Amino acid sequence: MSEPTLDSLPPPQAPWWRPYIATLIGCAIVASFTAQRHAGFFLFFVAFAWAIGVLLCMIAFFRDRILFLVRAIRLTLWFVTMLAVAGIHWCYAIDARRVANSFVWVIEQYQSTHGAYPIDLKAAGLDEKTARQTRLGYVVGSDGPSLFYSSTFNGFDTYFYDFRSRNWKFQPD
């Protein structure tokens, strides 16, 4: 009986997770860009690419079952990433509305106490740094005050508070 040599040993098996490394890196990169405030609309591009991937996965289903399984797991990773980023943006939206509603409350309290709306946020005693961070603005025009903030999902869309009807109105770009 002879001693086994390196040539006679079977080749080492790659770890099961190796085909998913590039997908995980891609998911991390996309999540780092799209999870930022006002950048959620980039998810539409990811969803379009994901839909193309679903079509390729369906084609792979009929050709090669192992390739189908690998693609299905990759698509699932992308889907979980998109859901996580959408959840992050949902939390951003809730937080922005909470801050905006607190500003509305202070402005309405100022108006009920002084009989007029404040000329700016500082006059009402509100923190302008918080307003800048949430992209919240306040102006008093000839037709009354206007409080608004940018959508956290898409920075081009805006929510306006109507002080007469006391509700928020969405203004798409």
Q: What is the pLDDT of residues 151-170, one digit of tens each?
A: 888 878 899 999 889 999 99
Task: Output the pLDDT for position 8.
Answer: 67
- Average pLDDT across the chain, whole number: 86
| 95 within a domain of the structure (yes/no) | yes
Residues 59 and 99 in one domain: no
Task: Output the pLDDT for position 79.
Answer: 92
Residues 95 and 164 in one domain: yes
Domain end, chosen from 49, 64, 90, is at: 90
Domain end, chosen from 40, 75, 90, is at: 90
What's the domain count of the chain? 2
| 4 within a domain of the structure (yes/no) | no
Task: Output the pLDDT for position 55.
Answer: 85
Residues 82 and 97 in one domain: no
Domain end, chosen from 59, 90, 121, is at: 90
Low-confidence ranges of the chain (pLDDT < 50): none
**Domain, as residue range, for 160:** 91-171
DSSP 76-129: HHHHHHHHHHHHHHHHHHHHHHHHHHHHHHHHHHHHHHHSS--SSTTTTT--HH
Task: Output the pLDDT for position 13.
Answer: 75
